[in-house]
Structure 1
């Protein structure tokens, strides 16, 4: 090992080059800071190289393949269709490389210094960086921790990345699983279940909970769609044991009635994220963490050390790239004395399922628990003209209002276009919209946007394409 004799002086050091890290780096550079970005792996982090982008290539490819089967009704006749997983993998790698090169180009254009290596704190103003035999020390004025998280499998299950898979390896399969068990109830589990179902796998979803993570109305529609797709769903089941024999996966599940043994070809586990903080030496410098290892931050993303910030999956809250990006920009602005705040109250959550799911704000159940007098309405996409044209009539749009002051509390969508439509909900919640604010504007026709309008109209018993008995539901 070659040890540097002197500490290299740096202004802002960012540990981790994922979405949060490189957004923070570029924003800080825009504001005139000299930025050093340290990344031990590939630029773009887990999201670009192992998580978000690879999984969305899979879901996009699966959705396109499924849509080809519906072309005949539009007069587009295709004699034979096959899914070539090798070509999808090639497309995935091409996409990842292009996006990674784009991040690198942006960093260079913003004069960001990129250092390869594993970083850890030596003191509250010095960082050591190891890269093979090379070891250097850097003294900094400010630092941002953006080291992300890793999926943690359940106790007793060893991920081998061949038949026992996690979110980092499920998109690397070179064969379509004959029978895939999906263990989890979050959006990642649903994306994987629906994608592999679309390209030919028999899929069984195993859920430890008694339902999925969404509003009750979305969960009911989701269950109907899963049944329609012939995806098995086992609720309130826990995997006690899992092992491989003769190129098969055997799992032992436990439920209220006892235990059961099931066999398939692969098992995917959507594990709980664990923050990547063990190697950072946080205890050495006194940065406060929770019992689970997450770094405690304030609204500016400052840690208990005022000049050290933390963003993304190493902080508490949803493990979403959007959260990391917002926090990264906030930290960069706070460092340059700009008043900034990462308010994640109206953080949208999306699932690139088939059809997609998106929501923001409170569910009906959460609103009631928080003491609101709740008024809800929903509009089925089967009543939307443009959805009928597209042949995408599965799904619904649900709105949750406070009955007393008419404030919008939440928007929940399952259906084609949900990911794009949810931005209307985000803007409305951020601006404190009331029902009259959403009823007044003009909505393009024909479009899926009209479904959002009619869901709000249903609150007032004004929805044109709903029979009277379906227009609204009121909870006192």
Structure 2
């Protein structure tokens, strides 16, 4: 890590200017081993301190082989793909505009999502039991939101440091960080004035949050998931308007609500339509409403009014019942993302979809020879597992393996005040495809509705004992003829870990009898095991 006075090259992605260095100087100056804590300090210097204009080079002076692949972008897809290609005996180079590997997930995307979801769950528990037991009285109190954003900012360099250390010292990857690559052709990139060539080019430049394109969107106080953690420098008032009906909007909206702010969700069509099971979705939305959230479906934010000082002062919303004005200094948009594909597509002649996704085959190959695209560049699902797997599958194909990867039938989740997990078919979907559908679910249907303390499991026990309607919901969908599990759905806490394994087992033919044979760790969020055992003895399955 060093600088040179030889000149400057404009960085096209992050608008930084990085020092150009002689190639021999670069190779002779491979940085010495840094500890994880030293990496943390160094990354901070590159982000905010005296090293902002310095690129970080880690190239192998003893390897004179041609690169098998250059990964343009070192996020989840680029880092995992690079590590896999290296492990298979190839030579890789990953280039990223950030001074760290791992991309936006730990910096301003999925990691803060989880932090704020944890806060929402904790605050919901506290508000439900305020003034009792050891819980403080939060009645009418608004929790400081900026403090939590600052907490995240202070802690996010830890994961960055670990990934840089791991990538260099344990995975032996070659990389150039804190500098952008300029694509020249399907084998060539320029970085800091130096030319690098490879047999293949892998595009992994991520995505950017979508904008509304409405008057007032540029005002201070209008945020997306990235600008919220990067730019929030004031404590918002007692009202929040959230635009969108998908994961990001619900995750953040529930957090804002849990801090004590009157939160309105403005949804163009249907809230949480990504949850396939209607009964599960209904439970989630009912709980959101009980927490005081207002939901405006079939509505659009049409403009943001200035408060007279260049800040948001009000949100103007077109609803099915007419125009509505909500005074607020805080508006959050969660409208999905668009791949950062246009510049590369123009240079290379790539084929794009209407949503600017790079079109690839099941080998991750584009229409241009020796050019692959991975992660968010190829569109939905814009999830971590797909980014990592697409990077790894691309590496395997480049190294000669006959592979095929199309993301489908994955376990999914979203956070509200709860953790919602699902995989496979919903009950309605199953009934459209199978003649004999059986369900096992909690809470049981009875004359008291939801007022039953089941399911009782991790982090739901206070609710189960005192506020049973809030203790969660779960459903297992089964083909009664073959006894195979078709899908599972859960609202509560802790099931997400199990679902990523159960989903794989269901694809292999998991039956209700197999579930009944498992050794459950009681109490746990996946009551399906013990409940399946109660039904496994029935030759003819019936609902439970």
TM-score of the two chains, using structure 1 as the length reference: 0.85
Instruction: Give the distance between the partners of 1:390 and 1:216, measured in 2 at CA.
Output: 26
Matched, 1:210 2:270: yes
Would you say the 8 A contact 1:128–1:138 is kept in 2? yes
SS in 1 for 2:68: strand
How far apart are residue 169 of structure 1 and its match?
1.9
| Per-residue Cα deviation, 1:205-226 (whole angstroms, up to 9, x for no partner) | 1111234221211221012101
How far apart are residue 372 of structure 1 and its match?
7.2
Structure 1: gaps of 5 or more residues: 463-467
| Per-residue Cα deviation, 1:86-135 (whole angstroms, up to 9, x for no partner) | 54334312321010111111121123222243224322222233xxxx32
Structure 2: gaps of 5 or more residues: 1-7, 10-19, 24-63, 444-451, 465-469
Q: Runs of 4+ in structure 1 displaced over 6 angstroms?
A: 1-6, 70-74, 79-82, 457-462
How far apart are residue 138 of structure 1 and its match?
1.8
C-alpha spacing 1:157/1:297, structure 2 compared with 1 (3 Å): farther
Partner of 1:50: 108
Matched, 1:319 2:367: no
Instruction: Give the distance between the partners of 1:203 and 1:4, measured in 2 at CA.
Output: 51
| Per-residue Cα deviation, 1:212-246 (whole angstroms, up to 9, x for no partner) | 22121122101210121011111111222222325
Would you say the 8 A contact 2:485–2:510 is kept in 1? yes
How far apart are residue 141 of structure 1 and its match?
0.8
C-alpha spacing 1:436/1:308, structure 2 compared with 1 (3 Å): same
Higher Cα radius of gyration: 2
How far apart are residue 264 of structure 1 and its match?
2.0
Would you say the 8 A contact 1:120–1:279 is kept in 2? no
Matched, 1:270 2:331: no
Q: Which has the higher strand share?
A: 1
Partner of 1:233: 295
| Per-residue Cα deviation, 1:350-405 (whole angstroms, up to 9, x for no partner) | 22321111122233344456677644442238323446634364321122334443
Instruction: Give the distance between the partners of 1:20 and 1:161, measured in 2 at CA.
Output: 34
Matched, 1:10 2:67: yes
* Aligned equivalent of 2:93, options 20, 25, 36: 36
| Per-residue Cα deviation, 1:46-105 (whole angstroms, up to 9, x for no partner) | 212121112222222343344455677995365889845454334312321010111111
Matched, 1:114 2:175: yes
Instruction: Give the distance between the partners of 2:211 and 2:532, measured in 1 at CA.
Output: 42
| Larger mean Cα displacement after TM superposition, 140-149 or 398-407 | 398-407
Partner of 1:436: 513
Partner of 1:465: none
Instruction: Give the distance between the partners of 1:237 and 1:212, measured in 2 at CA.
Output: 14
| Per-residue Cα deviation, 1:175-214 (whole angstroms, up to 9, x for no partner) | 1442001111111111111111112211111111234221
* Aligned equivalent of 1:19, options 63, 66, 76: 76
Matched, 1:138 2:196: yes
